[in-house]
Amino acid sequence: MERRIIHLNIANFCVAVEQVRDPRLRNRPVIIACPGPRAVVHDMSDEAYSEGVRKNMLLTAALRRCRSALVLPPRPELYRKALGSCLKQALQYTPLVERSSGNGHLYLDVTGTHRLFGPPPDIGWRLRNTLRRDLGLDPIWSIGTSKLIAKVASRLVKPRGEYIVGGGEEQSFLNPLPLQLLPGISPADLLRLQHINIHLVHQVTALSVQDLHVVCGRRAHRIYHLVRGIDPRPVHPVISRKQDISHAYTFSPDTNQEAVVRAALTTLTQRAGYDLRQRRLGCRRAAVMLLYSDGVSVTRQAAVSLPVCDDTSLQQLVSAALYRAWNRRIRLRQLTVTCSLLCHPAQQLSLFTAGDMRVQKNRQLSKALDTIRSRCGDGTIFRGAQYPHINTSIPLP
Amino acid sequence: MPTASSVHIGTCGFSYPEWIKAGIYPPKTRSFQMLRHYSRLFSVVELNYTWYQMARADTITRMLAGCDSTLLFCAKLTRTMTHEIATDWPDQARAYLQGMAPLLARKRLLSVLVQLPPTFRRTPQNRTYLARLFDTLKPLPLAVEFRHRSWAQNSVFTGLTERGVTLVSVDAPPLPELFPPLEVITNPALFYLRLHGRNTSGWRSGSKQQQFNYNYTQAELRQWSAARIPRMRAACTTGVILFNNHVAGQAVRNAQALAQLLHPSSASHNV
């Protein structure tokens, strides 16, 4: 059966939620950013965008471009609640709803729900009406045969509207579009293709994988599929996923000193490990996102087969992800650590031996540190690896 | 005076995955192939996706490339001019005109359907709006379907006749507030009949799957084919008859049955 995916996108999600709470914020430039000397723009309204403000830009630079902007601190809990309400409405149509990166994107797989709820455009329209009426949010809704096609369609009509792409029309839909509209095409890919005067999708579809390999190297296969609208990724239902644990740190000033970066990484890892142990969970995958001074962000991840939750094992996993991501000489502005694929760290104990003593010791040490932190506070005890960057008041995103 | 008009029979919409299961389309038919299969069954189709999203010339050009060159079209006007009237509706109307350009240029557009909701009653404000809307969309052949009985007045029919706008005749459940099933001709160039089914209990359910789940009996179809359609045919040069009871492919079977009743010897649905 042909897949039908609905993409709901609430443009400038954080600002949209703030505007619902305070209608006086409508039709004026608003920037969401953490207060602080090295703060970066987290989100902005259309008015601020049209003045040149962009995400991840330094707040000071953003305010130079848009002096009349109102700066608000981010309220993650509020945004989480608003997205949760959207999710609740979406779940009435299908259990397959994916919440993408918590920034106002929802994917619904409505394949096969036709006889229950009518055609997919009707679902998209009704859902948008419900969100508008009940939550005051006005999402873009678009329909495609994959997450890729639906997302590109949303980008075409942003900041508001709708777009329906029929099954089999993917290629003709994508052909005239500029390459930067395709999610998954990195700035580096774009640059390489622009060097040989390729700007549109249909110019890339004329190339074979071998041709693309000459230009884009290892990325050739991925790009070959992207420009043809081939995206078999399933919609991951939210209900089966535990909430990821994520912590971020903004360097002040920007740095590329390894000791400082490693110390910050250790601090973030300790926090993530503490959260995991408090929830009696382990993680099988860790991701590190680096935001460079020039606004480029790179995310890489590392995974293990058995869930880990002690600080040392987690540190190894996160370090592996860090060195996969850190391959530029540009200074770093922000570092984010995310633990995902969370599950209970159950394991079969050995009947005769006590197991690896070092692992046991690490677990005991993590447990002891947790106890001290619970009793005396977060800033009372540190590992040596956190030096020279011992900072207890890490601002969370 | 027009006599014995050509009548095109079809359905409201064509892209229904459930029609594959109902045996209307072959197994594993993809969305973009449905219109090609449809054009082998009927000579006209009503585009309902243009109600959900603004008509775009590129989308319609792509659609035309994928179907039979003789298939004719009726298209619904976008909801932002009928059900959710936006403040910038004149811009929307201009965008719609541009979107319909490929159909107009190829002479494949029979009519644009302005379908108004039951909440759109005959008030001075709504009358003014409708007059301005018709004026803005003037280059297009227009048909209007009311869902509230307050519009069933001679002055309305006269106004439509003066503007050359077709009044859509409807077959719907006999509910007190609904526009009655009339056969008033306001445009001698076209009559437009829409058969929604008579599912009284499902009409206000809020679900299109229930609202349009109805199978017409031969006797019910004969109510139209015996006298009412012939009278409308006699008054118009062209006619469109569209079935909206799409659930489980009932619209297709009813359309084929009506075509047989209107012209037993014809295998075609352009009678």
Which range of residues forms the domain containing residue A276? 242-386
B271 found inside a domain? no
Residue A340 has pLDDT above 90, yes or no: no
Question: What pLDDT, on the 0 to 100 scale, is given for residue A309?
Answer: 84
Distance from CA of A130 to the nearest CA of B (A): 13
Chain A residues lying within 8 Å of B207, measured CB to CB: 117-118
- Residue of A30, A3, A36, A2 lying closest to A18 (CA atoms): A30
The domain total for chain A is 3
Arithmetic mean of pLDDT over chain B: 91
Question: What pLDDT, on the 0 to 100 scale, is given for residue B266?
Answer: 57
- Chain A residues within 8 Å of chain B (Cβ atoms): 1-2, 114-119, 121-122, 124-125, 161-164, 166-169, 172-173, 176
Residue A349 has pLDDT above 80, yes or no: no
Query: Would you call A119 and B208 a contact, using CB atoms and an 8 Å cutoff?
Result: yes
Chain A residues lying within 8 Å of B33, measured CB to CB: 168
A235 found inside a domain? no
Q: Is B267 left (phi over 0), alpha (psi -120 to 50) or beta?
A: alpha
Which amino acid is present at A308? Answer: V
A232 found inside a domain? no
* Tens digits of residue pLDDT in B181-193: 888 999 999 999 9
Best to test chain B binding among A4, A5, A125 (most B CBs inside 10 Å): A125
Residue A145 and residue A9 in one domain: yes
* CATH code of the domain containing A124: 3.30.70.270
Residue A263 and residue A282 in one domain: yes
Residues contacting residue A273 through CB under 8 Å, at least 6 positions apart:
A309, A310, A311, A314, A366
Arithmetic mean of pLDDT over chain A: 86
Distance (Å, rounded) from C-alpha B222 to C-alpha B215? 14
DSSP of A351-366 = SSS---HHHHHHHHHH
Question: What pLDDT, on the 0 to 100 scale, is given for residue A346?
Answer: 65
Residue A394 has pLDDT above 50, yes or no: no
Residue A209 and residue A93 in one domain: no
- Residue of A323, A340, A205 lying closest to A265 (CA atoms): A323
Question: What pLDDT, on the 0 to 100 scale, is given for residue A101?
Answer: 63
Which of B17, B49, B62 is nearest residue A169 as measured by Cβ atoms? Answer: B62
Distance from CA of B160 to the nearest CA of A (A): 30
Question: What pLDDT, on the 0 to 100 scale, is given for residue B234?
Answer: 92
Question: What pLDDT, on the 0 to 100 scale, is given for residue B203?
Answer: 87
Which pLDDT band, with edges at 50, 70 and 90, does B159 fall under?
very high
DSSP of B203-237 = TTSS-HHHHT-----HHHHHHIIIIIHHHHHHH-S
Query: Would you call B53 and A2 a contact, using CB atoms and an 8 Å cutoff?
Result: no
Residue A355 has pLDDT above 90, yes or no: no
Residue A279 and residue A204 in one domain: no
Best to test chain B binding among A109, A122, A143 (most B CBs inside 10 Å): A122
pLDDT greater at residue A347 or residue A237 = A237
Query: Would you call B54 and A164 a contact, using CB atoms and an 8 Å cutoff?
Result: no
Query: Would you call B31 and A167 a contact, using CB atoms and an 8 Å cutoff?
Result: yes
Chain A residues lying within 8 Å of B79, measured CB to CB: 125
Best to test chain B binding among A3, A141, A169, A170 (most B CBs inside 10 Å): A169
Residue A4 and residue A115 in one domain: yes
Residue A162 has pLDDT above 50, yes or no: yes
* Tens digits of residue pLDDT in A262-271: 989 998 998 8
A236 found inside a domain? no
Chain B residues lying within 8 Å of A173, measured CB to CB: 62
CA nearest to A161 within chain B: B53
Residue B156 has pLDDT above 80, yes or no: yes
Q: How are beta strands A97-100 and A105-109 bridged, if at all?
A: antiparallel
Residue B258 has pLDDT above 80, yes or no: yes
Residue A57 and residue A135 in one domain: yes
Chain A residues lying within 8 Å of B49, measured CB to CB: 121, 164
Question: What pLDDT, on the 0 to 100 scale, is given for residue A358?
Answer: 75
Residue A397 has pLDDT above 50, yes or no: no
B177 found inside a domain? yes
B269 found inside a domain? no
A234 found inside a domain? no
Which pLDDT band, with edges at 50, 70 and 90, does B74 fall under?
very high
CA nearest to B48 within chain A: A121
**Per-residue exposure over B125-158, b if at least 16 CB sit within 10 Å of its own CB, e if not:** ebeeebeebbebbeebbbbbbbbbbebbeeebbe
The domain total for chain B is 1
Residue A180 and residue A290 in one domain: no
Question: What pLDDT, on the 0 to 100 scale, is given for residue B160?
Answer: 95
A79 found inside a domain? yes
B268 found inside a domain? no
Question: What pLDDT, on the 0 to 100 scale, is given for residue A297?
Answer: 79
Residue A360 and residue A256 in one domain: yes
Which pLDDT band, with edges at 50, 70 and 90, does B265 fall under?
low
What are the C-alpha distances in Å from A28 to residues A24, A58, A70, A234? 8, 20, 8, 38
Residue A259 and residue A368 in one domain: yes
Which pLDDT band, with edges at 50, 70 and 90, does A242 fall under?
low
Query: Would you call B209 and A121 a contact, using CB atoms and an 8 Å cutoff?
Result: no
- The beta-carbon contacts of B256-261 under 8 Å, at least 24 apart in sequence, are B256/B41, B257/B216, B257/B218, B257/B221, B258/B9, B258/B221, B258/B224, B258/B225, B259/B9, B261/B218, B261/B221, B261/B222, B261/B225
Which pLDDT band, with edges at 50, 70 and 90, does B271 fall under?
low
Residue A178 has pLDDT above 70, yes or no: yes
Question: What pLDDT, on the 0 to 100 scale, is given for residue A236?
Answer: 83
Most confident of A18-32, A37-51, A246-260: A18-32
Taking residues A118-133, report their average pLDDT.
91
B1 found inside a domain? no
Residue A263 and residue A351 in one domain: yes
CA nearest to B31 within chain A: A167
Which range of residues forms the domain containing residue B146? 6-262
Query: Would you call A115 and B30 a contact, using CB atoms and an 8 Å cutoff?
Result: no
Best to test chain B binding among A4, A114, A149 (most B CBs inside 10 Å): A114
Residue A140 and residue A11 in one domain: yes
Share of chain A above pLDDT 90, in %: 39
Query: Would you call A168 and B18 a contact, using CB atoms and an 8 Å cutoff?
Result: no
ipTM of the complex: 0.82
* CATH code of the domain containing B181: 3.20.20.410
Which of A118, A124, A164 is nearest residue B208 as measured by Cβ atoms? Answer: A118
pTM for the structure as a whole = 0.76
Residue A135 and residue A77 in one domain: yes
Which amino acid is present at A146? Answer: S
* CATH code of the domain containing A203: 1.10.150.20
Residue A19 has pLDDT above 80, yes or no: yes
Query: Would you call B53 and A172 a contact, using CB atoms and an 8 Å cutoff?
Result: no
Share of chain A above pLDDT 70, in %: 91
Query: Would you call A168 and B30 a contact, using CB atoms and an 8 Å cutoff?
Result: yes
Among residues A123, A142, A163, the one where a domain terminates is A163
